[in-house]
Amino acid sequence: MRLERLRHPIFSIRRRRVLPRWVRRADRSINRRVNAAGVGPVGDTVFRIASRAANRSMLWFAIAGVLALAGKPRAALRGSASLVLASALANLVGKRLFGGPRPLWKDVPVGRRLGSYPTSASFPSGHSASAAAFVTGVALESPAVGAAVAPLAAAVAYSRVHVGAHWASDVLGGIGIGAAVAAVGAVILPPRRPQSESSVAETGTRVDLPEARDGEGLLIVLNEEAGTSVLHADPRPVFASRLPRARIREMGPDDRMDDIVREEVASATPPRVLVAYGGDGSVARMAQLAREYSLPLLGLPGGTFNHFVRALGVDELDVGLDAASTGRGLRVGVGSLAVGDDTPLTVLNTVSVGIYPDFVAERIRRQARWGKWIAAVVAAAIVVRRARPITVEMDGEQMSVWSVFASVGRNDPGRVSTMQRRRLSTGELDLRILHARDSRLRAFGSLAFGRRTAAVLRTLRLLPRASDVERRVVGDVAVRVLLRDGQVVPFAHDGELEDAPASTADGYVLRLAALSSALDVYAP
């Protein structure tokens, strides 16, 4: 018989002294009800996995890595810092002050039991403190992402009761400690608004664009597939209120934006302004059409990350509509990407080949089944374990690399991967070549961006060495991407995975050029 809970009698004495009798009675009652409630073998397995995945906070650190990769470095850093402090407070201070024995493992149904149970004091739950601290810290920087992660944190917290590792009061105490630590952190170091990230972008040339006070002449295309992994308010009531005369077309999974726009342009009353409500991929495609028909573009943040519109300063729907109503605009530079014999694509942020497209491809394979965020965590683990370098050729030089990123305009010199542009009026491309001289883990770490996140990774020695990163600033570039193990290597632009052309004997060529003053966009 396992008697580890009897090795610390002082825990039981402390619990009896500190916690009121009614709390202890409620704990016993709740645990009996949970043990008696049947959720089936699948449910038991899910909660066991959730409980184990959060051991040593590995689950939360993995999600933090994905957030950093996805352009949320401050959310990742605040969540991780809150977690570390809350875990230390719960495990090193709380358990010593309050203690208490854990529930008896023999009362837990066999299908729910863990392989081994901790022998430390029960109150408070360290798992719950870490989960609450992480999700609260993330939510302080990015409420939408915090809401998306919250159900997972709740599942981890409940799982500690479900598997019999804690009493309900332990879990509630842990949640209180975690949330409090994150809240105190927000007082000491207040969260920064998302647009502060875009304030470093150098603006383009100011231009006057058509005013759209009631929406007349506006064609709004809504991408129903964009931003499904984060919470967005339905924009339709806002459009109906502020733009009652606008034409609204909804783009389903089988619709093509090109067909919708061409149909409207060929109508008796063609649009004067093209409006894209979606993510970077949707806005980039609409930018292509805006250039084709010489129309201004209004990009609205309806996607997951919205890198380009955030660089413009449009971080909320009303901000973009205010700019449209007053006709405030900018003439900005873009990139032109030619792949094989296809029509050149308009690039708003970046083009990349290598480890980032590999990550996106892995995530897409699992996204329909598990959702974007869980799929991203799994994809990150797979890429760190399986990623292989690619071979590229530039200016007659052949090299083995982990990734090549080409940003429209000069970008932050301290970053390897550049997702959000820093200059809007430009005729330059900023290339970052990460040579394959180091580990997969460090290569993947290079995808985390933001000075604070980079500082943490640098301290942990999870960033590539400076000598492995090559930077080139050019007006145009041709990159030949050779086959990898006989397979065509995918590429991405503006965060979207693209189909590479049919393979030739040695691969394909990406031809990218910077175009200054090539697109008119509404901006505050």
Say if residue 197's pLDDT is above 80: no
- Of 292, 310, 326, the one marking the end of a domain is 326
Q: Are 444 and 387 in contact (CB under 8 A)?
A: yes
For residues 510 and 413, membership in a common domain is answered with: yes
448 pLDDT band (50/70/90 cuts)?
A: low
∠424-425-429 over CA atoms, to 5°?
80
For residues 89 and 128, membership in a common domain is answered with: yes
pLDDT of residue 199: 42
**Per-residue DSSP letters for 185-197?**
HHHHSPPPPTHHH
Residue appearing with tokens 């690039």 = 347
- Of 125, 156, 188, the one marking the end of a domain is 188
SS3 443: helix
Please give the structure tokens belonging to residue 458: 């640098």
Mean pLDDT score, 297-326: 89
Q: Is residue 333 part of a domain?
A: no
453 pLDDT band (50/70/90 cuts)?
A: low
Closest to 303 measured CA to CA, from 356, 228, 235: 228
Strand-pairing partners, residue 273, are 218
List Cβ neighbours of 343 (8 Å cut-off, separation of 6 or more).
none
Mean pLDDT score, 444-459: 64
The residue among 34 and 126 whose pLDDT is bigger is 126
pLDDT of residue 188: 75
User: Directed axis angle between helix 40-53 and helix 143-162, to 10°?
Assistant: 110
CATH code of the domain covering residue 24: 1.20.144.10
Strand-pairing partners, residue 401, are 390, 435
List Cβ neighbours of 218 (8 Å cut-off, separation of 6 or more).
212, 243, 245, 246, 247, 271, 272, 273, 275, 298, 324
Say if residue 298's pLDDT is above 60: yes
For residues 11 and 138, membership in a common domain is answered with: yes
The residue among 403 and 383 whose pLDDT is bigger is 403
Q: What is the mean pLDDT of the chain?
A: 82
CA 397 – CA 409 distance, rounded (Å)? 24
CA 95 – CA 97 distance, rounded (Å)? 6
Closest to 448 measured CA to CA, from 66, 57, 115, 133: 66
Phi, psi of 216 (to 5 degrees): -65, 130
198 pLDDT band (50/70/90 cuts)?
A: very low
Residue appearing with tokens 């002050």 = 97
Q: Is residue 205 part of a domain?
A: no
pLDDT of residue 223: 76
List Cβ neighbours of 244 (8 Å cut-off, separation of 6 or more).
214, 215
Please give the structure tokens belonging to residue 159: 């799982």
Q: Report, in this order, helix, strand and coil percent for the chain, each rounded to 5.
A: 45, 20, 30
User: How many helices (H) and strands (E) in the chain?
Assistant: 19, 16
328 pLDDT band (50/70/90 cuts)?
A: very high
- As a whole-number percent, the residues of the chain with pLDDT over 70 amount to 85
Q: Are 305 and 419 in contact (CB under 8 A)?
A: yes
Report pTM: 0.63
Q: Are 408 and 333 in contact (CB under 8 A)?
A: yes
Q: Are 65 and 84 in contact (CB under 8 A)?
A: no
Phi, psi of 6 (to 5 degrees): -90, 0
Closest to 447 measured CA to CA, from 405, 479, 406, 393: 405
For residues 355 and 318, membership in a common domain is answered with: no
Least confident of 31-45, 101-115, 374-388, 463-477: 101-115
The most confident of the ranges 212-216, 263-267, 498-502 is 263-267
pLDDT of residue 16: 55
Q: Is residue 180 part of a domain?
A: yes
Phi, psi of 276 (to 5 degrees): -115, 120
For residues 17 and 99, membership in a common domain is answered with: yes
Mean pLDDT score, 269-295: 93
359 pLDDT band (50/70/90 cuts)?
A: confident
What is the span of the domain harbouring residue 226?
Answer: 210-326
Q: Are 167 and 161 in contact (CB under 8 A)?
A: yes
Q: For residue 320, which amino acid is it?
A: G
For residues 316 and 408, membership in a common domain is answered with: no
∠461-463-466 over CA atoms, to 5°?
105
For residues 123 and 250, membership in a common domain is answered with: no
Domains of the chain: total: 3
For residues 125 and 64, membership in a common domain is answered with: yes
Mean pLDDT score, 37-65: 79
CA 173 – CA 122 distance, rounded (Å)? 11
CA 61 – CA 76 distance, rounded (Å)? 8
pLDDT digits (tens, 9 = 90+) for 4-37: 333 444 444 455 555 667 776 777 777 777 767 7
Say if residue 179's pLDDT is above 80: yes
How far from 130 is each of 54, 55, 86, 126, 302, CA to CA, in Å? 9, 10, 6, 6, 31
For residues 179 and 148, membership in a common domain is answered with: yes
Mean pLDDT score, 454-463: 65
Least confident of 7-16, 398-407, 500-509: 7-16
pLDDT of residue 2: 39
For residues 307 and 359, membership in a common domain is answered with: no
Mean pLDDT score, 472-487: 91
Residue appearing with tokens 């590539």 = 464
Residue 180: other Cβ atoms inside 10 A:
17
CA 188 – CA 300 distance, rounded (Å)? 33
For residues 28 and 168, membership in a common domain is answered with: yes
pLDDT digits (tens, 9 = 90+) for 74-89: 888 888 889 888 888 8
CATH code of the domain covering residue 485: 2.60.200
Please give the structure tokens belonging to residue 354: 């290598």
